[in-house]
Amino acid sequence: MAAVVVMGTQWGDEGKGKIVDYLAQQAETVVRYQGGSNAGHTVAVNGEEYKLRLLPSGILYKGTHNVIANGVVVDPEVMLQEMDAMEKRGIDVSGIRLSNRAHVVMPYHRLMDGLGEEARGAGKIGTTKRGIGPCYADKYDRIGIRAEDLVSPEVLKEKLTTVLKLKNDLLTKI
C-alpha cells in the first residue's frame, strides 16, 4: 500500500493544492491533515473551476474517500457553505469524513485574531482574521473545542464555561 504525502513550508501559495488535485485523480483516499479555511486553492476539473478552502480536492473525483483529519482546524460555517456549494454543482459530498478530534474554529477565535492583528500596529503579520491561529493556540493550550464536543451538549457546556471565562478575562483585562 503506497502513500504519497504533499507537504509545504507554510508560506502560502506554494501550489500544494494543484499537486494534490493532480494526484487525487488516481487516489483511493485524500486526507487533509493540517491548515484551516484561509485562502484555499482553485483547481480546474473537466473545464470547470472549483475553489476549495477546507474540503480535500479528492471530493471532485467520484469514488475517492475524503478525510479532514485532526490536524485541521475546522470552521463549521465555512465547511457547510463549501459542502452546499459543491452539492449545488452536482458534487457528491456524502463521502467526507471529519475526524472527531479536529478542533473547531469558534466565533471568539475570529474576534481574538482580529484584535491581535490590530494590536500589532505597524508590525501586523497579515492574518486572514479567520481565527485559525487562535484556534491552533487553544489546541496546543489544551482548551480547544473538538468536533466530538459538538455532539455532546454536557461536555460542550463544560468546556465552553472554562474557555469563555479565559477569553473574557483576556478581552476585558488585557
Tell me the per-residue pLDDT of 99-132, one tens digit each, with 9 for 90 and over: 999 999 999 999 999 999 998 999 998 888 999 9
Of 41, 103, 109, 113, the active-site residue reads 41
Q: How many residues in total does the chain contain?
A: 174
What is the pTM assigned to this prediction? 0.89
Alpha-carbon distance values, 19 to 13, 25, 91, 93 (Å): 12, 10, 20, 21
More confident residue, 5 or 130: 130
41 is catalytic: yes
State the burial class of residue 161 (Cβ atoms within 10 Å of its Cβ: 0-12, 13-18, 19+): exposed
Q: In whole angstroms, what is the distance from residue 58 CA to residue 74 CA?
A: 18
- In contact, 83 and 54? CB cutoff 8 Å: no
Look-up: residue for cell 502560502?
12
Say yes or no to pLDDT of 8 above 90.
no
Highest mean pLDDT among 18-22, 25-29, 51-55, 146-150: 146-150
13 is catalytic: yes
Output the nine-digit C-alpha cell for 76: 463549521
Residue 54 has what pLDDT? 92
Q: Can you tell me the mean pLDDT for 32-60?
A: 86
